[in-house]
Chains A and B, each alone.
Chain A
Amino acid sequence: MRRNPVLTVLHRLAIGLYIAFALFPLYWLLKVSVTPNDLLYSEGVRLWPSRTSFEHYAFVIANSEFPRFFLNSFIVSGSTAVIVTIVAAVAGYALSRFAFRGKYWITALMLLTQMFPLVMLIAPMFKILSPLGLTNSLTGLIVVYTAFNVPFATFLMQSFFDGIPRDLEEAAMIDGATRFVAFRQIILPLTLPGIAATLGFVFTAAWSELLFALMLISGNAAATFPVGLLSFVSKFSVDFGQMMAAGILALIPAALFFLLIQRYLVQGLTAGAVKG
């Protein structure tokens, strides 16, 4: 099809405008994080400070509790991602390959968990976890996040398994392998991209979770990054440079995982278009 050059220019312009809109808030975060304190107020609305420094990053890494928050968040998100992916791979495989009574109800149950307000679980969850010693503990957060992410991850894995022909494991089973051996040795290696995408989605979701972490964690020892950053904001609300440096540090893992999964975004979000 021939294209009207005016339309082409308008199209590129619109894309460029949207990219500017999408990146500007992140750019501003970066800009303030490298602005030295003495220029922070005098050059408030300049697009780039006349002098840059990494003093805020140095302070945040050396003198604050952020390294610990970072490590806590990493332990929680990493463990959650690994456990959820294993559980969801197995369950997603069953939903993709078996026709069994109860499959409809399992799917309905999982869809239901995506519809009701999770915020209503905050109070009872605290009451349940508290006598078990799982409040103020990373283990408690891992258990909660794992359960929250399993339904979506299961739908995601199911959609990846649906894309692999059944003949493969049927051939292996005719050759005498059990179904589980066929699943582990033939199907799983073929789903590696799907597994990577699921790991990325779940890691990002756990890394971002705020409300349950606020309720279940008090004190710095087990604080995840969002909890630590918010308490830092309410205590030292004038240290904008340090807060934004910490914000940029929190963004890095999420952005890395995003780059890892963004090729699968379109497939993944349509598979389980139920959750952000």
Chain B
Amino acid sequence: MTAFVASRRRPFLQRLADASEPWLYTAPALILIVAVMLVPLVLGVSYAFRDIKLLNPFGGGFVGLKHFEALATDQAFRTALVNTLWWTGASVLIQFVFGLILALLLNQPFRGRAIAQALCFLPWAVPSFLTGLDWAWLFNPVIGPLPHWFVALGLMETPQSILSDPDLAMWGPIAANVWWGIPFFAITLLAALQAIPKDLYEAAAIDGAGPIERFRSITLPFLAPTIAITILLRTVWISNFADLIVVMTNGGPADRTQIVASYIFTTAFRRLDFGYASAIALVLLVLLLAYSMLIVLLRQSLLKRG
């Protein structure tokens, strides 16, 4: 407050310096974000309406909505859309359920909890490309144990990789994603659990509430905002997360594991068709924006009713 009063009497230059100070501190970050993220983003949007192929130096002309017309009849794109829903829904749901269970387990004090917690969270530190390779090897009948276990359990007749089975292939990347992503949910939910005042539980116990009743009427309401925001953010993040699929199956067999994000990558990286890749990316961006808007609207209508 004293600084504020003093500033009124200071000369103009001094006031200018004070006003620009926060901008000086944030300038490097802002310049980087604008130059390396916003500029390519805008450029990418313009590519969606141009004919840009890396191997064709005479391309680059505007083609209007040609890419989008092609998209409308692109069977691979339609498959990728459905696969994205499947991949995202299954991954988020399983990660959330096990993440919540793990957080509840780790929230109980016990001896060796610090070490147990570090070990449980370790998969999160494994680089995503290594996670993908590791799980692809685990599913490999030559080198990995999983196919042989499936045979022993009677789930499979001969040991073979589920990654090459069109009907089961998607479960490979989903399994890897679940293993890798449970810690994220567990960490976030554990932080929220630790913020719940302990005396609430004691008071409820004195009033005769059982463990299930305490979970329902204390834990869940306290966790609800964290659960909502984490699921929202993770849904967007996982639907964009192509690393595991690119590493494990490259979208195959026969596009059965191709999601929209990996389709964008494949179109840009292997077919070198930057225009078409950008058109798909623009559709994905619009869908994600629509999803986020829907969530915001839903939340507001819920708040109004509540």
Binding site for B on A (CB under 8 A): 1, 11-12, 14-15, 18-19, 21-23, 25-26, 28-29, 32, 40-41, 44-45, 87-88, 90-91, 93-95, 98, 100, 102-103, 106, 109-110, 113-128, 143-144, 146-148, 150-151, 154, 173, 179, 204, 207-208, 210-211, 214-215, 226, 229-230, 233, 240, 243-244, 247, 250-251, 254-255, 257-259, 262, 265-267, 269-270, 273-276
B102 to chain A: closest residue by CB: A18
Q: Indicate if the CB atoms of A95 and B26 lie closer than 8 Å.
A: yes
Docked Cα-Cα span, A114 to B153, in Å, equals 42
Q: Indicate if the CB atoms of B237 and A276 lie closer than 8 Å.
A: yes
**Would A124 and B44 be within 8 Å (CB), given that A91-B26, A267-B191 are in contact?**
yes
B57 within 8 A of partner (CB): no
Q: Indicate if the CB atoms of A124 and B47 lie closer than 8 Å.
A: yes
9 extra A-B contacts, CB within 8 A, seeds A269-B187, A275-B237:
A29-B137, A45-B145, A90-B25, A100-B19, A122-B268, A123-B278, A128-B40, A265-B187, A270-B187
Q: Indicate if the CB atoms of A120 and B145 lie closer than 8 Å.
A: no
**Would A147 and B236 be within 8 Å (CB), given that A18-B102, A88-B29, A122-B265 are in contact?**
no
**Would A117 and B35 be within 8 Å (CB), given that A26-B122, A127-B43, A273-B188 are in contact?**
no
Distance to closest chain B CB from A33 (angstroms): 11
Which of A40, A87, A229, A250: most chain B CB closer than 10 A? A87
Residues on the B chain within 8 Å of A44, using CB: 142-143, 145, 148
**Would A146 and B32 be within 8 Å (CB), given that A103-B22, A266-B194 are in contact?**
yes
30 interchain pairs, CB-CB under 8 A: A11-B110, A15-B106, A15-B120, A19-B119, A26-B123, A28-B144, A87-B29, A94-B22, A103-B22, A115-B236, A115-B288, A119-B240, A119-B264, A121-B41, A122-B265, A123-B52, A124-B40, A124-B41, A126-B54, A128-B39, A147-B35, A173-B3, A179-B21, A208-B130, A211-B242, A226-B130, A247-B130, A255-B122, A273-B230, A276-B184
Q: Indicate if the CB atoms of A251 and B191 lie closer than 8 Å.
A: no
B111 to chain A: closest residue by CB: A12
Residues on the B chain within 8 Å of A41, using CB: 142
Is chain A's interface secondary structure helix, strand, loop, or mixed overall? Answer: helix
Distance to closest chain A CB from B1 (angstroms): 10
Docked Cα-Cα span, A259 to B28, in Å, equals 30
Q: Indicate if the CB atoms of B125 and A255 lie closer than 8 Å.
A: yes
**B139-158 with Cβ < 8 A to chain A:** 142-145, 148
Q: Indicate if the CB atoms of B22 and A98 lie closer than 8 Å.
A: yes
Residues on the B chain within 8 Å of A215, using CB: 265, 268-269
**Would A26 and B29 be within 8 Å (CB), given that A41-B142, A247-B134 are in contact?**
no
Docked Cα-Cα span, A28 to B37, in Å, equals 39
Binding site for A on B (CB under 8 A): 3, 19, 21-23, 25-26, 28-30, 32-33, 35-37, 39-41, 43-44, 47, 52, 54, 101-102, 105-106, 108, 110, 116-131, 133-135, 137-138, 142-145, 148, 179, 181, 183-184, 187-188, 190-192, 194, 205, 229-230, 233, 236-237, 240, 242-243, 246-247, 261, 264-265, 268-269, 274, 277-278, 281-282, 284-285, 288, 292
Q: Indicate if the CB atoms of A211 and B37 lie closer than 8 Å.
A: no
Q: Which of A21, A28, A90, A273 contacts B229 (CB 8 A)?
A: A273
Q: Indicate if the CB atoms of A254 and B127 lie closer than 8 Å.
A: yes
Q: Which of A91, A146, A240 contacts B137 (CB 8 A)?
A: A240
Q: Indicate if the CB atoms of B121 and A94 lie closer than 8 Å.
A: no
Docked Cα-Cα span, A115 to B265, in Å, equals 18
Distance to closest chain B CB from A235 (angstroms): 14
**Would A250 and B134 be within 8 Å (CB), given that A40-B143, A120-B284 are in contact?**
no
Q: Which of B23, B41, B52, B130 contacts A120 (CB 8 A)?
A: B41
Q: Indicate if the CB atoms of B36 and A262 lie closer than 8 Å.
A: no
Q: Indicate if the CB atoms of A117 and B44 lie closer than 8 Å.
A: no
Docked Cα-Cα span, A122 to B292, in Å, equals 23
Residues on the B chain within 8 Å of A118, using CB: 240
Residues on the A chain within 8 Å of B274, using CB: 123-124, 126-127
Docked Cα-Cα span, A125 to B181, in Å, equals 28
Q: Indicate if the CB atoms of A121 and B285 lie closer than 8 Å.
A: no
Docked Cα-Cα span, A90 to B21, in Å, equals 11
**Would A269 and B143 be within 8 Å (CB), given that A128-B39, A275-B237 are in contact?**
no
A173 to chain B: closest residue by CB: B3
Residues on the B chain within 8 Å of A269, using CB: 184, 187-188, 191
Q: Indicate if the CB atoms of A26 and B118 lie closer than 8 Å.
A: no
Q: Indicate if the CB atoms of B237 and A265 lie closer than 8 Å.
A: no
Q: Indicate if the CB atoms of B237 and A15 lie closer than 8 Å.
A: no
Which of B36, B122, B130, B229: most chain A CB closer than 10 A? B130
Q: Indicate if the CB atoms of A12 and B284 lie closer than 8 Å.
A: no
Docked Cα-Cα span, A204 to B233, in Å, equals 20
Q: Which of B133, B179, B190 contacts A266 (CB 8 A)?
A: B190
6 closest cross-chain pairs (CB), A and B: A120-B281, A147-B36, A258-B125, A94-B25, A208-B127, A123-B274
